[in-house]
Structure 1
Amino acid sequence: MDTLPAPFSAPEGKRIGEIWFEPPKQLPQLLVKYIFASEKLSIQVHPSDTQTEARGLGKQGKEECWLVIDAEEDATLGIGFDHQLSADDLRAASEDGSIEEMMVWHKVKPGDFFYIPANTVHAIGGGVSIIEIQQNSDITYRLFDYGRPRELHLDDGVAVSQAGVHDPANRRHVPASGDVALVDGPHFRLDRVDGEPDAATRARYSGPLLVIPREGAAEVEGDTVEPGGCALAPSIEAIRFAANGSCLITQPLES
């Protein structure tokens, strides 16, 4: 995008599509991204751990979640369908482009949150900025790409898709304040915390985790982490949270 939400800025005349943080060796299972979409991104799907293992890919699958941090008036995210599609119907819709109209497109605003299980057909619309926390996997099967000259993966994508309705339990609007448990498995946990985490939140975290300041800086073993950054902390006790700040904290779960 040309104009990015604070605290980011794009150099004059250049667009930035995403910023991602190299997973630390202590937590290789998780990847944190900021995604800034000025136009619709491809309609795609990711396999599960079980499917990647069965296919001999030697990699974990990919489940992810999105927190909307900025959105234009008509910005949307596409997730699933309003009814179950057969494999043949999904392939045909991908080939002729009607998949775009068949998907459910959610009009979004800052604070909207979506969990995207593996096998869910999904797409990011234009004019939206999100934080994405995901299993660290680069296995993506594109089903439709709006005529762009990139490879599609119809055989693999159709094979792993559960082309049905996205569970309403996997989407919500995050309140403006308060500690909120956003994800608690199966592959990672994610919390939004205001100031110092409450006792219940602290009790869920043991060992290394990632901290992503949203408002106000955090300190990790004396190092300052500003909004827009992401840092590894050896434990939740090693983080000093800003009294009037807000952070995301996340860590992988044992499989």
Structure 2
Amino acid sequence: MTVHLGPIRLPANQPPQFYRGGDAIAALRGVPPVAAVSNSDTGFGPEDWVGSTTTMFGQDVNGLSSLPDGRWLRDAVHADPVAWLGRDHADAPAGSTGLLVKLLDAGQRLPVHFHPSDSFARRHFDSHFGKSEAWIVVDTYGDDPRVHAGFARAQSRATIDDWVRDQDAPAMLGALNSMAVRPGDTVYIPAGLPHAIGKGVFVVELQQPTDFSLTMEWRDFLESPDKGHLGLGFDTALDALDLSGWDADRLGSIVKHTGETPDPEVDLLVEAASPYFRAQRIRPAPDLVLAPSFAVLVVLDGAGTLRTEAGEQPLAKGDTVVVPHSAGESTVDGDLTVIRCLPPHPRREDQR
């Protein structure tokens, strides 16, 4: 017997972080900013983990999304993976959704860091997933919002070792390509690519479902270098770093500009991201029908209704909604803009 689960509106889920931000998330949701922590007068709630079955690195439950009935979404998915993920995804590693979505508001520049590949994560973290990610810029503020990605010129391992040992932040940041961004821009960050998000950039971030961040620039951000290399030691961690040069043509393969695209359904990310996750911008249209899929929705503006085979869900600016595969086909009506975040198409483990 097939269980049909309807869409579920999710509450905010902002585990504490080491960097400042969060006002843009509060403004989107129409709520007061997150209360300050750590005896600071600035909030440290810069990330909202949406539809998360992933915990923060080394923690038991921090990061997990809860459902209205009190269960963790992770436990609900494990209990009925076919209803949540569809039969083709139900055999995915540990019944994982294959997706982590965040709202990320950089109230300060983030440190220079990178993430491991699937193969590196298998060897060193006993994980099926590494951490490729992508940014969908939904708002910017301040004088010069920008992101930093990829070394502009190839670097030697010896140079990187020196920068990390000396914590030479200007050299690390200065070696990266720096790109001004505006709403509608998207950037795919493959595993290994060094990167940092600049102050004043608010993104919907899609990631593989892990919390593996290898942080070259740990000083003034993290408590110790151990937090930067996640216990591996930098000699090992830096083996996952992409040392190659990224010129303008190569950068063009990971960047997409979608802000002026008027279509009701827009694929937001470059094709190279599709083995890891997919994202669409949705605006209502009479003939637009969305295929069944596990999905995480973020409503950027307006109001309307999500209609599925298993029920309806009102939508309004700032809402975050998880949609099980068994909800079936869906449509959206009203006057609103929705980011629809999706896992990759099903594929065999030996294709990774």
State the TM-score bracket (shorter-chain normalisation): 0.7 to 0.9
Higher mean C-alpha displacement, 80-89 vs 166-175: 166-175
What's the counterpart of residue 124 of structure 1? 197
Q: Return the structure number with greater helix share.
A: 2
Whole-angstrom CA distance in 2 between matches of 1:45 and 1:197: 42
Give the one of 18, 26, 29 matched to 1:7: 29
- Gaps of at least 5 residues in structure 2 are 1-20, 37-42, 54-72, 78-83, 86-96, 348-352
Cα deviation for residue 64 of structure 1 reads: 0.9
Task: Note the 1:153-168 alignment, pairs <5 A.
Answer: 153=229, 154-164=234-244, 165=246, 167-168=251-252
What's the counterpart of residue 101 of structure 1? 174
What's the counterpart of residue 230 of structure 1? 321
Could you state the TM-score of these two structures normalised by the residue count of structure 1? 0.86
The count of corresponding residues between Structure 1 and Structure 2 is: 252
Two-structure CA RMSD over aligned residues (Å): 2.6
Q: Secondary structure at the match of 1:186?
A: coil
- Cα gap change, 1:248/1:236 in structure 2, threshold over 3 Å: closer, same or farther? farther
Letter in 2 for 1:18: E
Q: Deviations over 1:117-136 (max 9, x none)?
A: 11111111112211101111
What's the counterpart of residue 67 of structure 1? 136
- Cα gap change, 1:60/1:12 in structure 2, threshold over 3 Å: closer, same or farther? closer
Q: Secondary structure at the match of 1:242?
A: strand
Give percent identity, aligned residues only. Answer: 23
What's the counterpart of residue 294 of structure 2? 208
What's the counterpart of residue 246 of structure 1? 337
Cα deviation for residue 146 of structure 1 reads: 4.7
Whole-angstrom CA distance in 2 between matches of 1:121 and 1:133: 17
Whole-angstrom CA distance in 2 between matches of 1:197 and 1:235: 23
Task: Note the 1:31-42 alignment, pairs <5 A.
Answer: 31-42=100-111
Cα deviation for residue 155 of structure 1 reads: 2.7
Q: Deviations over 1:56-86 (max 9, x none)?
A: 5234111111111221231121111111112
- Confirm or deny that 1:219 pairs with 2:248: no
Letter in 1 for 2:212: I
Whole-angstrom CA distance in 2 between matches of 1:236 and 1:77: 37
What's the counterpart of residue 49 of structure 2? 20
Whole-angstrom CA distance in 1 between matches of 2:179 and 2:30: 25
Whole-angstrom CA distance in 2 between matches of 1:41 and 1:6: 21
Q: Return the structure number with greater strand share.
A: 1
